[in-house]
Amino acid sequence: MPVSEDVPLTAFALELKHALSAIGPVLLLTSDNIKQRLGSAALDSIHEYRLSSWLGQQEDIHRIVLYQADSSLTPWTQRCIRQADCILIVGLGEQEPGVGELERMLESTAVRAQKQLVLLHREEGPAPARTVEWLNMRGWCSGHLHLCCPRRVFSRRSLPRLVEMYERLFQRPPDRHSDFSRLARVLTGNAIALVLGGGGARGCAQVGIIRALAECGIPVDMVGGTSIGAFMGALYAEERSYSQIRIRAKQWTEDMTSMMKTMLDLTYPITSMFSGAGFNSSICSVFKDRQIEDLWIPYFTITTDISASAMRVHTDGSLWRYVRASMSLSGYMPPLCDPKDGHLLMDGGYINNLPADVARSMGAKVVIAIDVGSRDETDLTNYGDALSGWWLLWKRWNPLATKVKVLNMAEIQTRLAYVCCVRQLEEVRNSDYCEYLRPPIDSYGTLDFGKFAEICEVGYQHGRTVFDIWRRSGVLEKMLQDRQGTSKMKAFNVLTCPSASFTDLAEIVSRIEPTKVAVVDEESDYLTECEEGLPDGPQEAYADFQSSPADGGSDSEEEPSLHHQHPSVAPPKPSVDAAPPWFSGQDGQRPPSDAP
C-alpha cells in the first residue's frame, strides 16, 4: 500500500517478488491481472464468492501471495486489506514524513493484520533520517524497515518496459544480501540474527568474524548485542561495510588506550572511579546523534535496569546513549539515567551477556551468537571451613610457599553479579536455534584495546574456519532454507483433466464472462449431439468451461504477492452446482471416489 502516488509501487512489488522467489512459489496479484484472468467483472460485489474461492486456492498452492493495492480506495484495495496477513506501508525516505489517504482509512478500520512501514532509499542517497517522525504518525505500525533500492526501482519506464525488464531479471537468482531479500526473509519468518556478546577488548574479535561472515556469504537481517557487542553491532547496523566498521572501531579503541583522557576523567570514587564524561564523549563521537530507528538493519541492545531490577531491551531512541549504558561497568562508570523514564541503566552483561534468546523472541529463525566473555577459573584451592587473610598474605609474599588460588572480594562480587548471566548462557548454547561461536581469545584481557589488530585477526581466522565447516556440513544450506520446508507445500493431483493444472481449472471455474444475449432458434427443438452428452441437472459449473478457454500460463509465471498463507481465510467448501469435484478442503486432498 503506497503512502503517496510518488511511490514506485509496481517496481517495488516486482523487486519483492524476485526476492521472495528464493523462498518459495510466489504469486503477485494486481487489479489489472485479476481482470485479465477472471474477467472484467470479477471485482464486482455480485461475484464475491467466486473471487474469494479463487484467491483461497492461490494461497493454498503458493508459499506467498503478494497483493498490490491500487493508489486509491477501490474495491480491489479493500480486498487486498481483507486478505492480508501483513500490510506493508511503502513510503519514500527522502520525502517529508506524512500520512497518506489510504492509511487514514486503514487506521479508522478494525484491521487485525500486522502493519509494517517500509521506507525506500536511493543507492546514492543519504542515510536514513527522521524515521521517528514517520513512526510517531503511525502508532499502529508494529515495525519498520529501511530498503536501499537499486536504481531500476526508481527508473521512469513505462509499465510494459518495466515488466519486460523484470522478466529478464527473474531469470537470475536474487542477491541474498540485498535489502529486498532481507525483507523477504523477515516477512516469511526466515530472518538470520547476529548477536554479539560482551567481553571488553576481546570484542575486537567480532570485527574479524563480521569480515568472515561477509566473505562466506551469510546474510544478516537483525543485529543485537551487549556491552562491547552493542558497540560493534551498532557499527554493523549503521555501516553494512566491513572496511568502514574496522576503521571506526580502530579509531575508538585508540581513544580507549589514551592515558591522558583516562586520567582527566578520574573523579572521587563515591559512585564510580570515572565521571563518565570522557567515555560519553568517545561513544558520541562515533555515533553522533543517530537514532536506533535510523539504522539500516534492525538493532537492539541490552541494559540492566537497576531501578526496576529488570532487563531492558532497547530498539529505539538515542543510539550512543543506550550503547554507553550497555557498556557501563559497575565501579568504573556511573549508571546512565534513561532519558525516557529516569531509570538507572548499567551494563547488560550482568543480566544477559549473549542475548540470543531476545533475538529469537523478535522473530529470528537462526541466531549466530558470538561469545567473547571471560571464563571463570574453576580450579580453585579448597581451603576448608575458614580462611585467614594473614595466611593468604604469607602465601603471596613467601617465594618458597605453595601458591594458592583464592578469589578476592572484587572477584567474588563480580561472579555474584554474573550468576544469572552464566545460567542464561548455558541455555543459549544448548538451544537448537542458536549457532554458537567462541574465538580463542582467552589470553587477552578486558582492557587490551591496544591489541585491536591482533585480536581482530584471531576472530577472522576462527570465523573462516568455522564457516567453512558449516558450508561443508550443510549448516549454511539449512540456515538459508525456508522454515516451512518444501515438504509442507501442497501437491494437487488432478486426474479429471490431465492436460490442465489445478490452478488452470480453478481459474476457469472462477472466471466471470460478460453477459451474452442468448439467440434461440425456434425452428429446432432437438438437442445437438454435443448437448446430449451433458449430464442432467444444473449446468452452471460447466458453462464456464464451454465459454472460456484455459489460460495457458502457469501460476508460477504470474506476478508475486506479499502474503503468506492466510490462516483465517479458508476457501469456501464447494457445492455440486458451483464447482467440479476436485475442489476439496484446505488440506489439498482429493475426496473419496464416492464423493459427488
Q: Over the stretch 303-322, which tens digit does the pLDDT of each residue have? A: 999 999 999 999 999 999 99
Is 361 within 8 Å of 382 (Cβ atoms)? no
pLDDT, residue 540, reads 39
CATH fold for the domain made of 9-178: Rossmann fold (3.40.50)
Distance CA 439, CA 207 (A): 12
Model pLDDT for residues 66-80, shown as the tens digit of each residue:
999 998 888 899 899
Backbone φ and ψ for 465, nearest 5 degrees, come out as -65, -50
- Residue 590, pLDDT > 70, answer no
Q: Tell me how many degrees the CA angle 132-136-141 measures, rounded to the nearest 5.
A: 100
Binned at pLDDT 50, 70 and 90, residue 513 comes out as low
Is 215 within 8 Å of 177 (Cβ atoms)? no
Model pLDDT for residues 132-182, shown as the tens digit of each residue:
999 999 988 999 999 999 999 998 889 889 999 999 999 999 999 999 999
Beta-carbon-side half-sphere exposure of residue 363 (alpha carbons within 13 Å) = 17
Q: How many other C-beta atoms can be found within 10 angstroms of the C-beta atom of residue 436?
A: 18
Q: What beta strand segments (E) does 420-469 contain?
A: 434-437
367 forms beta bridges with 193, 434
Residues with catalytic roles: 227, 347
Q: At a CB cut-off of 8 Å and minimum separation 6, what does 270 contact?
A: none
Q: How many other C-beta atoms can be found within 10 angstroms of the C-beta atom of residue 74?
A: 13
Q: How many other C-beta atoms can be found within 10 angstroms of the C-beta atom of residue 506?
A: 27
For the chain, domain boundaries: 9-178, 191-377+411-480
Residue where the block lists cell 579503541: 253
556 DSSP 8-state letter:
G
Q: Would you list the DSSP string of 141-164?
A: --EEEEEEE-GGGG----HHHHHH
Binned at pLDDT 50, 70 and 90, residue 485 comes out as low
Backbone φ and ψ for 385, nearest 5 degrees, come out as -90, -20
The whole-model pTM stands at 0.79
47 forms beta bridges with none
Domain 191-377+411-480 has CATH 3.40.1090.10: yes
Q: 478 versus 593: which is more confidently predicted?
A: 478
Is 575 within 8 Å of 590 (Cβ atoms)? no
Model pLDDT for residues 50-69, shown as the tens digit of each residue:
888 888 888 888 999 999 99
- Residue 183, pLDDT > 90, answer yes
Of 371-375, 392-396, 575-579, the range with the lowest mean pLDDT is 575-579
pLDDT, residue 517, reads 44
Is 367 within 8 Å of 356 (Cβ atoms)? yes
To the nearest whole number, what is the mean pLDDT of the chain? 82
Cell of 206: 567480532
Is 387 within 8 Å of 408 (Cβ atoms)? no
Is 144 within 8 Å of 116 (Cβ atoms)? yes
pLDDT, residue 301, reads 98
Distance CA 210, CA 230 (A): 14
